[in-house]
């Protein structure tokens, strides 16, 4: 049973518009959520995170929203830029474990068209 799901394998948006990437989880013990960005032939790099005590965290163009009752989180990128084209992974950690021991979704490939 996959505990972290990213149901959209791909997303294409126009430069300057909003990108919304979604993630669902099933394990109610998860209390820390992260988004990583991955370019081809590179390792994932940390983008933004949110703990379960919050429902929103913002960092520049990136905002993560958490809906605990729905076990759903989303990443908003505004405005989207061509350099944002990458694979985005949602990851979750359970209470008292470290973010190096996370459960990952399968990723969403974002393409931002100029």
Partner 1 sequence: NAGVTQTPKFQVLKTGQSMTLQCAQDMNHEYMSWYRQDPGMGLRLIHYSVGAGITDQGEVPNGYNVSRSTTEDFPLRLLSAAPSQTSVYFCASSYSRTGSRYTEAFFGQGTRLTVV
Asked if residue 103 binds partner 1 (CB under 8 A), the reply is: yes
Tell me which stretch binds partner 1 (CB under 8 A): 14-22, 68-76, 78-86, 102-110. Answer: 102-110
Asked if residue 99 binds partner 1 (CB under 8 A), the reply is: yes
**Bridge-partner residues for 58, per DSSP?**
63
Residue from the set 28, 51, 67, 81 that interacts with partner 1 by CB under 8 A: 51
Asked if residue 9 binds partner 1 (CB under 8 A), the reply is: yes
What span, in angstroms and rounded, lies between the C-alpha atoms of 66 and 10? 21
Tell me the closest approach of the beta carbon of residue 30 to partner 1, in angstroms.
12
What span, in angstroms and rounded, lies between the C-alpha atoms of 106 and 8? 9
Asked if residue 44 binds partner 1 (CB under 8 A), the reply is: yes
Asked if residue 8 binds partner 1 (CB under 8 A), the reply is: no
Question: What length does the chain have?
Answer: 114
3-state helix, strand, coil in the chain (%, to 5): 5, 55, 40
Asked if residue 100 binds partner 1 (CB under 8 A), the reply is: yes
What span, in angstroms and rounded, lies between the C-alpha atoms of 92 and 109? 19
């Amino acid at each position: 049973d996959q505990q972290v799901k990213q149901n959209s394998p791909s997303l294409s948006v126009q430069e300057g518009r909003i990108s919304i990437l979604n993630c669902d989880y099933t394990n109610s013990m998860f209390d820390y959520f992260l988004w990583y960005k991955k370019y081809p032939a590179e390792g994932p790099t940390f983008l933004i995170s949110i703990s379960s005590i919050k429902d929103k965290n913002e960092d520049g163009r990136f905002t993560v929203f958490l809906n605990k009752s729905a076990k759903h989180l989303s990443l908003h990128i505004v405005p989207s830029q061509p350099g944002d084209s990458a694979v985005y992974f949602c990851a979750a950690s359970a209470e008292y474990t470290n973010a190096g021991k996370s459960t990952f979704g399968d990723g969403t490939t974002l393409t931002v068209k100029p």
